[in-house]
Structure 1
Amino acid sequence: MRVALLQMTSSDIPSDNLAVASAMLRQAKSEGAEFAFLPEVMNCLSTSRRHQQEVLQLEEDDETLPALAALCAELGIWLLIGSLGLKTNDPDGRFANRSFVISDAGEIVARYDKIHMFDVDVSPEETYRESDGYRPGETAVVAETPLGKIGMTICYDVRFGALHRALAQAGAQILTVPAAFSHVTGAAHWETLLRARAIETGCFVIAPAQTGTHPSSQGHSRRTHGHSMVVAPWGEVLVDAGVETGVTVVDVDLSLVQKARRQVPALQHDREFNGP
């Protein structure tokens, strides 16, 4: 199957981002893609909780989700929306960081809320407290699609190997890692982490990413790493989209999953052990 990575530099204005994503999705279809992949928080990349409160909506009121679903039905293409920032009804007012799989009939096939929150101090000048604004999910998800069984993760989840192993042992053949990775940690760890997750599970890893310096209406922009990738089950990087925005297509051969797992059947070799 031919897949397309849609690498974006999302702003904090959802309508602008929807227009960009829609144009990219049309291009992906024109280049023969049957399944397209958007990055994390493609509808609004913002560091301002106040601004997010103004522009984000509950899932049932959000405009991006139905618009992209309708476009999938029009074009006859499957889509992973890497994630949308969405309001919730939580008493503390925190948002959800939610990924969606949309069918070529425009139907929502699966939802996944990001489990691991990016609460880190990369440097004195670059700190993140994702859990201040977003509440963590609690449930791992495997989605059935024509491409194969997809284990859904988001960005910081990639550092937690146990989640990806559980997804693979539950049947996932592909792991998705849509991201808005920090340019600092991305340069150091992004490729290594993606390749590790592929090698240890025998899965394809499909990782569409945000890239560049993101326009902000609030005067404080954020920079992300880019380098959307598809990694094969043996650990080879099949494609690296670099740092420019755009559409990158690549063919995925699912038979490589079984080949890698026959060569190194590590998913069958778990052993119970006593803690240290």
Structure 2
Amino acid sequence: MQNRRSVSLNAVRVFVLTARHLSIVQAAGEIGVTPSAVSHQIKKLEGELGLALFKRSHNFLALTDAGRRFHDDAAAAIAAIDRSAEALSRDQNEIVVRVSISLAVRWLIPALERFKAMHPAARVRIETKTGSNISLGSGDLAISYHRAGTSPAEGEWLAADMSRPVASPALLAAVGYEGTGDLGKVPGLQCAVDNWDWALWTRTLHIERDAIQIQHVFDTDDAALHAATAGLGMVLAPAFLTEREIRSGGLVALPGFGPVDLGHYRVVFQRHENRMTRKFRKWLGEEMQRMV
């Protein structure tokens, strides 16, 4: 039986990068080589596989069907190799945590001192991301958010998002808020795509959707909460994101309205985690239970 010649791992890496950009020039720029060097690696790989991976025209590059199938498997394999290599090169006391900007700034970073007091040798690297569904990538663990009604297969439960509207006492006094009938007097702040959180909150409490008049729009919970503290409006948030402002009196929960389950947070982690990561994951759950 004739042995099939093995393919070059370097050529596979170049192919995955080119497929991501669909540009030989951009791929070359990212790895610091010439476009002709990238083209050479791709042609080499196509020769080894005996298949065309790209459709080429004058100013156009697209994956063939075979190229698309190969990319799906190869990209996952390259990512796994990179994760394994990084894990071996890192100190066993280092933990890479991927988390949203708002959760990092408002909850995780202020709490880290307690983890360090328990485990002085630990070195935690926080990688903040935008959005809510944070991928694990090359991190040791990630904290992702999922709307109510979704049940992701990955990760373990961390906390429910029991959100309620919060606003500054000065704003409530200025608009004459005295009870639930005055909800329409308080301007709303948006920090979720399509305003889905306010829509779910009003639907759950059987409140007319147009009772919430959005005045300002922000791209993170943290920015919206700063705006609420400044008196610009009310925003939906769970207690563990507003602990500092509630304690100082900068924000209060809107009288007459309780929290509504809008979703939940999950911790996703690598299958082969080190001992310090297991300790950190255990501490996350204990810390969240302390807060809620």
What's the TM-score bracket when you normalise by the shorter of the two chains? under 0.3
Flag the structure with larger Rg. 2
Q: TM-score, normalised by structure 2?
A: 0.20
More strand by share: 1
More helix by share: 2
Q: TM-score, normalised by structure 1?
A: 0.21
